[in-house]
Structure 1
Amino acid sequence: MKHSVLAAAAIALAVSAFSAQAETLPGVRGVNHIGLTVPDMAQAESFFSDVLGCEKATSFGPFRDDTGTFMQDLLDVDPRAVVNQITLMRCGFGSNIELFSYDAPDQKNVRPRNSDVGGHHIAFYVDDINAAAAYLEEKGIRTLMGPFPVNEGPAAGQSIIYFFAPWGLQMEAISFPDGMAYEKDGGPVLWSNTSPAE
């Protein structure tokens, strides 16, 4: 009887673990890319390659549907929207960047702040935050206060500085070469300096 109760408990635990796994996106491996709509493709390509060191992989387009609803059905944009060009950029060991150039009848030019719903920024891990800040200043890139070291709490060990692309997209340089405080208690490591192939 004791063994059957233990076996039932083990089966229930296994089913529970399987159910938890089955509720996640099947086969997810990581973030493949971040898509950004930019006002000037040449400017954006230049910024990501010449300033941030990303490498252009490819460009393609345009895409449009002058009579049907393909653009609305596929991308949830105005049916007459046109994707003029898509450019894929490879950025170090992290996520790729997908740049979009759009024309659309209902296109808006709004840059949400971090405090707005839909606010966002892209963070680039750097080895030396002070060198990164000096480089951004030398390039004439607008930055905010920093580098700012975090000395308390679970994120202690990181230093950050926010900066902006020429068209206003907010970005961040972040570094925590000795890890962050939360890591001593376990949990996923947020950055590794080794490539996935190593």
Structure 2
Amino acid sequence: MTRSSFLLGAIAALAISSQPASADSIPGLRGHDHTGITVPDVKAATAFFTDVIGCSHAMSFGPFSDDKGTFMQDVVNVNPRAVIDEISMVRCGYGSNIELFQYEAPDQAKTLPKNSDIGGHHIALYVDDIDKAAAYLKEKDVKTLQGPIPIKEGPAAGQSILYFFTPWGQQMELISYPRGMAYEKDAKTLLWMTTEPMK
């Protein structure tokens, strides 16, 4: 990326971020700060995100618990005797952050939801070259699903996707659309700042 294209991208990003939210919104809404996920071993999860994915560890804190009261239930809607052993925050490139929790709770479920389940979810990471990123994951023995799959029709045309799994089974995704997506031609809202506009 040239210095001028970087500056143009930064100016465009500032213009978008400084636009006021719609009339019906949370006052002062700026954007998505982080996604939190509960993991079986926060130190191992932090190592995966930093050593394999390439995120940066920002901070860790905890533990949190309430031996007699209902603080945990009142604050995060978990069993009152639940314990957060540790929270670790990682930053992945230019996107929002990922918050990793390690919990102990009497009623803790240990089965990850599927994408089709209510509450099912995944975290998607944007990459510049999905083929190189896919090859890297395979070199690191990261389990991937079919793909990368290029999307050629509809508003998402121009993107390629590949789903993969963390060592503990959390579903994640790589996504790339370096030339933009079809919807961007007439869009008022862009999902990601790419270096080249859709042609």
Q: TM-score range by the shorter chain?
A: 0.7 to 0.9
Q: 1:122-141 residue pairs with structure 2 within 5 A?
A: 122-141=123-142
1:175 alignment counterpart = 176
Whether the 8 Å contact between 2:34 and 2:99 is mirrored in structure 1 is: yes
Q: 1:9-158 residue pairs with structure 2 within 5 A?
A: 21-158=22-159
Residue 163 of structure 1 and its aligned partner are, at CA, apart by: 0.2
The residue type paired with residue 109 of structure 2 is K
Structure 1 gaps of 5+ residues are 1-19
* Alpha-carbon separation, structure 1, partners of 2:193 and 2:187: 15
Residue 187 of structure 1 and its aligned partner are, at CA, apart by: 2.5
* Alpha-carbon separation, structure 2, partners of 1:33 and 1:193: 21
Residue 22 of structure 1 and its aligned partner are, at CA, apart by: 3.9
* Alpha-carbon separation, structure 1, partners of 2:140 and 2:41: 19
1:120 counterpart SS class: coil
Instruction: Provide, for residues 149-191 of structure 1, a one-character-per-residue CA deviation record: whole Å limited to 9, x for no partner.
Output: 0011110000010000000000000000000001112231111
| Identical amino acids, percent of aligned pairs | 64
Instruction: Provide, for residues 123-158 of structure 1, a one-character-per-residue CA deviation record: whole Å limited to 9, x for no partner.
Output: 000000000110011000000000100011110000
Instruction: Provide, for residues 85-112 of structure 1, a one-character-per-residue CA deviation record: whole Å limited to 9, x for no partner.
Output: 0111111110101110100111111211
1:17 alignment counterpart = none
Structure 2 gaps of 5+ residues are 1-20
* Alpha-carbon separation, structure 2, partners of 1:57 and 1:145: 32
TM-score by length of 2: 0.85
* Alpha-carbon separation, structure 1, partners of 2:70 and 2:93: 37
TM-score by length of 1: 0.86
Alpha-carbon RMSD across the aligned residues, in angstroms, is 1.3
Count, aligned residues: 175
Residue 193 of structure 1 and its aligned partner are, at CA, apart by: 4.9
CA pair 38-64 structure 1, distance change in 2 beyond 3 A: same
* Alpha-carbon separation, structure 1, partners of 2:79 and 2:116: 27
Instruction: Provide, for residues 34-57 of structure 1, a one-character-per-residue CA deviation record: whole Å limited to 9, x for no partner.
Output: 001100112101110011111111
